[in-house]
Amino acid sequence: ETGVTQTPRHLVMGMTNKKSLKCEQHLGHNAMYWYKQSAKKPLELMFVYSLEERVENNSVPSRFSPECPNSSHLFLHLHTLQPEDSALYLCASSQDRGLWEQFFGPGTRLTVL
């Protein structure tokens, strides 16, 4: 596979469940990102990893927990979510330095019941 892949593509979970989103990039990039996309709102940057170290955490609630075991993989662990967390979660990757654009995965459509 090429580019950025995300699994699952769709996820429905209850407020008490624990689930994880997975992202994998095949582009040799060294930075990876989690974004939240909600209707009529700008993309919200949640977390940034550069060289497997977290470099940004934009005031995201602790019920979202990222993990970056290596430069190709990124996870978002979810627990005790709220209905307002329902959104499209997008993963992206890029080279951290320089003028490189970000490449996005197809997203995981999350619904919290």
Residue at 13: amino acid letter: M
Give the shortest CB-84-to-another protein separation in angstroms.
Answer: 18
Work out the burial of residue 13: count CB atoms within 10 Å of its CB; fewer than 13 is exposed, 13-18 middle, 19 or more buried: middle
d(CA 48, CA 16): 26
Decide: helix, strand or coil at residue 87.
strand
Rule CB under 8 A: choose which of 25, 34, 50, 112 binds another protein. 50
- Name the DSSP class of 85: G
Min dist. Cβ of residue 16 to another protein (A): 28
Rule CB under 8 A: say whether 42 interacts with another protein. yes
Is residue 105 within the footprint of another protein (CB under 8 A)?
yes
**Binding-site ranges for another protein (CB under 8 A):** 4, 6, 31, 33, 40-43, 45, 48, 50, 55-56, 90-92, 94-107
